[in-house]
Amino acid sequence: MKRTRHIKCLHPYIFSLPNDLVLEILARVAASSFTDILNAKLSCKFLNEIANNDYIYQQVSLEKVPVIPWWPNKQTSSFLDRCKKSGNVEALYRQGVIEYLSACNLESGLMYLRMATNSGHLGASYVLGVVLLCNNDDDEEGINFLNIVHNNVQGFEECRQQLQEVTTCLWFNNYLVPKPNNCLMQNEHLKKQRGWPTDNENVIQCEACRCHREIKFVCSLCSHGEKFYNY
């Protein structure tokens, strides 16, 4: 309520700004808070009209938006559809995970994951890398996607947490099965691993073992257990 009043106080100044600048301001509001952009839209017709732009839907934060709405309705579906059509990377990532791991729409899932990956979503690179390594005969592309995560400062741990959060309320219907790790030195490379690593991401220098560790994590997540823990 306080924020809404504050926005109303700004109206005379906002009216004097070019629409492109107001749009940019609203996009930054949307990127930081779904609730704040909603309040801005509700505050007056002018802001509501400016905010009815694909750029806002591309930028809007979905942090407070449930992956699977508890009470799906036309308004929620319409909002999420527009986010996807506008290229909102988080919406594309979520849809890719849902389609591939839950709805078993594999082609559609891969398409959304690739779209999110191409837009720089690290979590999508992570899932896509694991999925390709489980299903493709040629490992090169999957390894490349996991190397993107490995070389990023956010690293694997954040991608694991992100996937866990997105899949918490998902019912898995597509179980991934890891291929055997062909590294002849895996006992040596993995000997210090107990449980899933947290702050020792760079301990495993071997690419094959590093990728296999992440494959096991995702496969175990999908199987709701430790089935592949000691694979």
Give the residue with the Cβ less far from Zn ion, 1 or 184. Answer: 184
Rounded to whole angstroms, the maximal C-alpha distance in the chain is 70
Give the residue with the Cβ less far from Zn ion, 42 or 185. Answer: 185
Stretch that binds Zn ion, among 39-47, 128-136, 209-217, 223-231 (CB under 5 A): 209-217
Which position among 41, 84, 150, 189 is part of the footprint of Zn ion (CB under 5 A)? 189
Which position among 201, 206, 223, 227 is part of the footprint of Zn ion (CB under 5 A)? 206
Cβ 125 to Zn ion shortest distance, Å: 21
Site for Zn ion in 58-117 (CB under 5 A): none
Give the residue with the Cβ less far from Zn ion, 16 or 230. Answer: 230
Give the residue with the Cβ less far from Zn ion, 121 or 212. Answer: 212
Give the residue with the Cβ less far from Zn ion, 160 or 189. Answer: 189
Cβ 29 to Zn ion shortest distance, Å: 47
**DSSP 3-state of 114:** helix
**DSSP sequence for 62-123:** -TTS-SS-SS--HHHHHHHHHHHHTT-HHHHHHHHHIIIIIS--HHHHHHHHHHHHHTT-HH
CA 88, 92, 94, 99: dihedral to nearest 10 degrees? 160
Cβ 183 to Zn ion shortest distance, Å: 3
Nearest by Cα to 135 from 101, 179, 100: 179
**DSSP 3-state of 40:** helix
Size of the site for Zn ion (CB under 5 A): 7
Which position among 97, 209, 219, 221 is part of the footprint of Zn ion (CB under 5 A)? 209
Site for Zn ion in 146-185 (CB under 5 A): 183, 185
Give the residue with the Cβ less far from Zn ion, 5 or 191. Answer: 191
Give the residue with the Cβ less far from Zn ion, 15 or 229. Answer: 229
- Residue 41 CB partners (closer than 8 Å, separation 6+): 47, 48, 51, 52
| Angle, CA 163 vertex, CA 159 and CA 168 arms, to 5° | 150
Cβ 209 to Zn ion shortest distance, Å: 3
Inter-residue contact 184 to 116 (CB < 8 Å) = no
What gap in Å lies between CA 140 and CA 216, rounded to an integer? 18
- Residue 59 CB partners (closer than 8 Å, separation 6+): 27, 28, 30, 31, 88
Stretch that binds Zn ion, among 86-94, 144-152, 153-161, 208-216 (CB under 5 A): 208-216
Binding site for Zn ion (CB under 5 A): 183, 185-186, 189, 206, 208-209
